[in-house]
């Protein structure tokens, strides 16, 4: 971004890919972290007089306009935070987008409508994606005068038209957010200070297989909580009642347990859980040891002894990465485990990174101090794929000429 600013952008049209994929309740944004994270790059460009065209997605619409996934609430929030109007184009690359971009003044911002309203955005066919990328590039005047700034870190693991293909058609630059995120995550994949402790949670172990396999070669201690812990507990021979269980992953998880043992990685699992009668905010529940989970109950959070155990295992960490809540933190009665882990990380003197998605939202929703962590990533899937050692297409393409 500094290179682009040094070239001078006043009056120039610049396409910015941002990740503004925020959680919504109707049309109310419940966590605007990603919108706020996009501000420094947008401000730097508008203050330098660029005509900024932002491309972003919201949710997973089916490749056609769908009012449920309109970026209208995001445009409004972005305007409030930037303290200036943000025009929402009525389409992605059609007449609406062209008219909105034509009307841009220096320092103005247009947000294109949800780029996934165009089926070509997520197409597996490179030619289809390329056709959309051509149209996006044309909106900012093509390679002769336009530029592309990639700042949507949360989406750089997607080989999509507005993330990947468009970078091949315009002079391209990494935005401040992408640079900062990559720098932080490279610290973790390089030579992190030890003990290096990772806490993983969230519902499904199947979403984390690649990252667990890779982490077992890197970390000193791996703490597992959340819904995914029950598949580990079952693999160790415990009965988990009606808790979330991925039977089809048991063999894989048993392999992880053996691998951790072989490599001397300390794998820490819950010793007690809050077992509830049903999946509800007001469900009757009690703390039970993991060898006494009743057959008709489901674990919705880690229990008090586990909170103490996890906190003790975090206390001496020099580096911590945390991804995924420890329980159903959206229900106040089952948010205690996630809060306890977050507080233990804040209390440690470790270099700490929160890996996007639900865990970042949890930090904010639970009112925890954001500055208690060294870095809160905006990327959920992207940061996990980075730690898995995968090449992220949206980053790799920026390194191409
Ligand atoms: C995310 O929420 O992780 C990013 O915005 C990417 O969204 P996606 O998983 O729908 O591609």
Query: Does 73 lie in the same domain as 216?
Result: no
CA dihedral for 343, 344, 346, 347, sign (positive or negative): positive
Asked if residue 397 belongs to a domain, the reply is no
pLDDT at position 401 is 79
pLDDT at position 356 is 76
Mark which of 180, 212, 231 sits at the end of a domain.
180
Mark which of 133, 152, 180 sits at the end of a domain.
180
State how far the alpha carbon of 177 is from the alpha carbons of 70, 150, 364, 376, in Å: 24, 9, 19, 11
Per-residue model confidence as pLDDT tens digits over 281-310: 999 999 999 999 999 999 999 999 999 999
Query: Does 364 lie in the same domain as 234?
Result: yes
Which segments of the chain have a pLDDT < 50? none
CATH code at 259?
Answer: 3.40.50.1260
Asked if residue 395 belongs to a domain, the reply is no
pLDDT at position 107 is 97
Query: Does 76 lie in the same domain as 225?
Result: no
Query: Does 195 lie in the same domain as 114?
Result: no
Instruction: At 89, list the tokens.
Output: 């184009």
Instruction: Kindly tell me the burial class for residue 340, based on how many C-beta atoms sit within 10 Å of its own C-beta (0-12, 13-18, 19 or more).
Output: buried
Is 324 annotated as belonging to a binding site? no
**Mutate which of 381, 382, 385, 386 for ligand 1 pocket (most atoms within 8 A of beta carbon):** 381
Q: How far is the CA of 157 from the centre of ligand 1 (A)?
A: 9
- Taking the mean position of all CA atoms in its chain, how far away is CA 335? 20
- Domain ranges, residue 242: 191-387
* Ligand 1 atom nearest to CA at 21: 5
DSSP 253-322: HHHHHHHHHHHT-EEE--SEEEEESSSSTT--EEEEEGGG--TT-EEEEE-HHHHHHHHHHHHT-SEEEE
Query: Does 282 lie in the same domain as 145?
Result: no
pLDDT at position 214 is 95
pTM (whole model) above 0.90: yes
Number of structural domains in the chain: 2
Mark which of 145, 180, 215 sits at the end of a domain.
180
Element (H, E) at 54: strand 51-55
Q: How far is the CA of 154 from the centre of ligand 1 (A)?
A: 6
Asked if residue 401 belongs to a domain, the reply is no
Q: How far is the CA of 247 from the centre of ligand 1 (A)?
A: 26
Query: Does 28 lie in the same domain as 96?
Result: yes
Which residues are the active-site residues?
Answer: 34, 204, 357, 381
Query: Does 347 lie in the same domain as 249?
Result: yes
Query: Does 176 lie in the same domain as 205?
Result: no
Q: What share of the chain is helix, strand, coil (3-state, %, to 5)?
A: 45, 15, 40
What's the ipTM? 0.98
Query: Does 123 lie in the same domain as 254?
Result: no
pLDDT at position 216 is 97
- Which residues, 6+ apart, have CB-to-CB distance to 254 below 8 Å? 235
- Which residues, 6+ apart, have CB-to-CB distance to 248 below 8 Å? 206
State how far the alpha carbon of 257 is from the alpha carbons of 170, 216, 225, 269, 313, in Å: 47, 10, 15, 11, 18
């Amino acid at each position: 971004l500094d290179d682009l600013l040094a070239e001078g952008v006043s009056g120039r049209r610049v396409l910015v890919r941002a990740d503004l994929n925020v959680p919504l309740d109707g049309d109310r944004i419940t966590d605007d972290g990603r919108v706020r994270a996009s501000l420094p790059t947008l401000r730097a460009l508008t203050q330098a007089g660029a005509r900024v065209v932002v491309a972003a997605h919201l949710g997973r619409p089916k490749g056609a306009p769908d009012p449920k996934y309109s970026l209208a609430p995001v445009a409004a929030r972005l305007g409030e935070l930037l303290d200036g109007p943000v025009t929402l184009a009525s389409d992605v690359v059609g007449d609406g987008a062209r008219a909105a971009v034509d009307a841009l003044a220096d320092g103005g911002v247009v947000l294109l409508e949800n780029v996934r309203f165009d089926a070509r955005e997520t197409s597996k066919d490179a030619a289809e994606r390329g056709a959309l990328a051509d149209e996006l590039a044309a909106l900012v005047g093509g390679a002769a005068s336009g530029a592309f700034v990639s700042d949507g870190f949360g989406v750089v693991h997607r080989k999509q038209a507005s993330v990947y293909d468009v970078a091949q058609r315009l002079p391209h630059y990494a935005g401040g957010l992408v640079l900062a995120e990559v720098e932080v995550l490279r610290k973790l994949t390089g030579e992190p200070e030890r003990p290096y402790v990772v806490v993983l949670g969230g519902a499904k172990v199947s979403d984390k297989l690649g990252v667990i396999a890779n982490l077992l070669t890197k970390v000193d201690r791996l703490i597992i909580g959340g819904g995914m812990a029950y598949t580990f507990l079952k693999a160790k021979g415990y009965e988990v009642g009606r808790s979330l269980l991925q039977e089809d992953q048991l063999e894989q998880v048993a392999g992880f347990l053996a691998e951790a043992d072989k490599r001397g990685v300390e794998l820490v699992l819950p010793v007690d859980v809050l077992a509830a009668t049903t999946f509800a905010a007001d469900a009757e529940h009690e703390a039970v040891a993991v060898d006494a989970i009743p057959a008709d109950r489901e674990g919705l959070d880690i229990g008090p002894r586990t909170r103490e155990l996890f906190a003790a295992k975090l206390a001496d960490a020099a580096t911590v990465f945390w991804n995924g809540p420890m329980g159903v933190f959206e229900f106040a009665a089952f948010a205690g485990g996630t809060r306890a882990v977050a507080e233990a990380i804040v209390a440690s003197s470790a270099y700490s990174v929160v890996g996007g998605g639900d865990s970042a939202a949890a930090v904010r929703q639970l009112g925890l101090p954001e500055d208690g962590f060294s870095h809160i990533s905006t990327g959920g899937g992207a940061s996990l794929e980075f730690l898995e050692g995968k090449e992220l297409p949206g980053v790799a393409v920026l390194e191409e000429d």
